[in-house]
Amino acid sequence: MPLFERLRELTGHEVVERYGMTETLITLSGRADGERRPGWVGWPLHGIRTRLRSEAGEEVPHDGETIGRLQVQGASVTEGYLNRPEANAASFTDDGWFVTGDIAAIAPDGCHRIVGRESVDLIKTGGYRVGAGEVETELLAHPDVVEVAVVGEPDEDLGQRIVAYVVAREGAVIDGPALSDWIAGRLSVHKRPRWVHVRASLPRNHMGKVIKPDLR
């Protein structure tokens, strides 16, 4: 993780990564006295339970690779949205779990990795389900890439193709096919970008987040 490593170089400290939402407060965290696993947001806090479900509602294996819809339960989770029955119906399962809208993987030891938002970061390509965040992280590790956003775009054969929008380091020239091959060597081959677009900048909102629909 380039950012994790850079912060360690600058400060001598390793970041404790955490995960939470307004509706849940903090639910997952690494321990201050435990392992700092770059890119992973840790284990459930006391009283919090999590689970992963497929699109069909089936259990997803905790193998650290298979991704699924993250759902949580616990005392800190909201009881619902005020006067918004439709939002409540969409955000809670029949058996009382809160649907976060995030895609995650869980390692055999229970550590969680957040892949991204299901609405914009889940790419269904050639029968595989790929999290855009994982590909973005690896692209940022390339010395010539300073910013990146990965999206899924329609493809007649694959359903969706993985497309990367990158901002190059000053003076660098991005070779799209070479960058795609570089990703294929670090991740599974099916996670490589099929197209690479070089941009001077990426569209962002006032919070600094990339507006991915504007890229498409």
Does residue 104 contact residue 117 with C-beta atoms inside 8 Å?
Answer: no
Q: Which amino acid is at 105?
A: A
Angle at 135 between CA 134 and CA 139, to 5 degrees: 120
Same domain, 74 and 133: no
This prediction's pTM: 0.80
Same domain, 111 and 28: yes
Mean pLDDT by 10 residues, the chain (216 residues): 81 92 97 88 97 94 95 96 95 96 96 91 92 91 94 94 96 94 93 96 91 86
Same domain, 109 and 164: no
Domain that holds residue 8: 2-115
How far apart CA 157 and CA 42 sit, in angstroms, is 37
